[in-house]
Amino acid sequence: MKYRTPLGLLGRVSEAIKLSAIMILPSKNTPARVYELLNTHNNLAEESLYLNMGYWVDANTYDEACEALAIKLAESAELSEEDDVLDCSFGFADQDICWMRNFKPKSITGINVTPVQIKVGTERVAEAGYADKVKLMRGSAIDIPLADSSVTKVLALESAFHFHTREDFFQEAFRVLKPGGMLVTADIVSADVQKQSTVKGSVKGSAMRKFWQFPLENAYNSASYIERLNKWGFEEANIESIGKDVYGPFHAYARKRVNDPSVTLRLNPFIRKMWKESYNEDTHVDNVDYIIAKARKPNK
C-alpha cells in the first residue's frame, strides 16, 4: 500500500520527540497531535487504514473487525440513500468509503482536526470514486462548520470521547441535525461498576488517558450519557453495550500484531511500545465499557 512507507531515522526521532511532548505537556495537547503520530505507518491494520478497536463477533482480522464496527454503526443509524451524513473525525476515510459502498447515502461531509488525515482521506475518497459525494474538511466537532438543520445523521466512530467536551458535541450535533435526524456514536464510557485498580494499573491508566486524549469531563457511565443527551434536547436515547465483543478480542489481536515482523519494521519503536503498553497482558478494562449510543432530534 502506497501510504505504508515508514519514515527515515530523522522522521522517527521527530515522532519520538512529539510523543514525549504529548506525555509531558498535556495542557498543550489536542487529539490532532496524537493522530498525527498514529499516521499511515503507525497503525495495526493490514489492508485498510482504520484506527478503531473493531467489532469482533464474526471477524478474524483487524481490518474485518474495524469494517464490521463501521457497518454496525451505520446499521444502528438506519443509514439510507436519503441521508445527508456528517462524520465527525473520519480517520483516513475508511468508514466513509465503506458507508458509500454499502449504504449509498446522498452525501457525506467529514470533519477532522488532523491535517494528514484530511489529505490522505481526500485522496482515498477520490481513488474510490466518491469525490462527488464525500467532502472532507477541517473542522471541530464542538464547533461544527455547518448550518443549522443541515444533515439527517451525525455519526462519530470511536471519536466522541476525545471531544472536549462530549457534551459540547451533543449540543452541536443537535443544532446541525434536521428535525427527526439521528446522532449515533460508537464510544467509550465508564463502566457502571468501577473496580479498584492496583497502583501500577492506576499509573498506566493515567498515562493511557493522557496519550489517548480522554478528558476527565467525559468519564461517565451509560446512564449519565443518556441524561446528557436528554439535557440537550434529544429523545429516544438508548445505548447498546458491546464491550465484550470489542475489548478482549482487540487486545488479544493487538498483542500479537505488534510482534509481527512486518509490522515491527514500519512502526516507530516508541509508538510500538505505546501500542504494546496499551494492550499488554496486564491491561484491565473492567472500568470501561464500549457502547453504541443513538438518539433522535424531535420531529417538530
User: What's the CATH class of domain 2-296?
Assistant: alpha beta
pLDDT of residue 209: 62
Amino acid identity at 249: P
pLDDT of residue 293: 98
pLDDT of residue 21: 74
E strand residue ranges, the chain: 84-88, 107-112, 134-138, 151-157, 177-190, 235-241, 288-296
pLDDT of residue 26: 59
pLDDT of residue 203: 45
Cβ–Cβ < 8 Å for 166, 218? yes
Q: What cell does 4 get?
A: 505504508
Digit-by-digit pLDDT tens for the chain (300 residues) are 677 766 676 777 777 777 777 767 655 567 777 777 778 888 888 899 999 999 999 999 999 999 999 999 999 999 999 999 999 999 999 999 999 999 999 999 999 999 999 999 999 999 999 999 999 999 999 999 999 999 999 999 999 999 999 999 999 999 999 999 999 999 999 987 665 555 445 545 555 666 667 788 999 999 999 999 999 999 999 999 999 999 989 988 888 888 888 888 888 887 787 777 666 555 556 689 999 999 999 997
Amino acid identity at 217: E
Give residue limits of the domains in the chain.
Answer: 2-296
pLDDT of residue 234: 98
pLDDT of residue 259: 86
Q: Residue 100 gets which letter from DSSP?
A: H
Cβ–Cβ < 8 Å for 134, 64? no
pLDDT of residue 254: 86
Cβ–Cβ < 8 Å for 127, 59? no
Q: Residue 140 gets which letter from DSSP?
A: B
Q: What cell does 5 get?
A: 512507507
263: number of Cβ within 10 Å: 19
Place of cell 464542538: 142
